[in-house]
Amino acid sequence: MDPSSKSGLLMEAWLQEHELWDITMGAEHQPSGALIQANSEQVCLVAITKRNWKNKDEQASGTIVLCLEPSVQHMIIGKKIAKAIWDQLQTSFGMQNADQLITDFKSAVVMMLPVDRPLTTIDQMTIKFG
């Protein structure tokens, strides 16, 4: 999924509609738990705020992952936070300049398939040509 493509824009709109876009873009930060001389009510409020943020982040990241093509999902392995996932997709599929497109085309044309793991290289080639 290219975040700048139609599907990327639709995903952005869905996340906005469900009030998850700020989490995905990092505008809504994970709350800090540091309280100096806090009473039990403040500690409880911080815990609820952190849990709400975590729930929203999980919903955003889960939705993004479910919308990805299987050939792209390997690119975000190990990323759990919605912003990290979106940033990785933006880095991989964001708007490219002409020099980058030419470089990608050249690398795809001369790509050699390794004997032991050709599917990884084929997935990369599919992404480049996509």
Predicted confidence (pLDDT) per residue in 9-25, tens digit: 788 888 999 999 999 99
Q: Which domain holds residue 126?
A: 96-130
Co-location of 16 and 69 in the same domain: yes
pLDDT of residue 62: 92
Co-location of 67 and 12 in the same domain: yes
Co-location of 88 and 118 in the same domain: no
Nearest to 75, CA basis, from 11, 7, 1: 1
Per-residue pLDDT at 111 exceeds 70: no
Number of domains in the chain: 2
Co-location of 7 and 64 in the same domain: yes
Co-location of 80 and 22 in the same domain: yes
Supply the DSSP string of 63-101, one letter for each residue. HHHHHS-HHHHGGGTT--SHHHHHHHHHHHHS---HHHH
Co-location of 15 and 43 in the same domain: yes
- The pTM (predicted TM-score) of the whole model is 0.64
**What pLDDT digit, counting tens, does each position of 3-12 carry?**
556 677 788 8
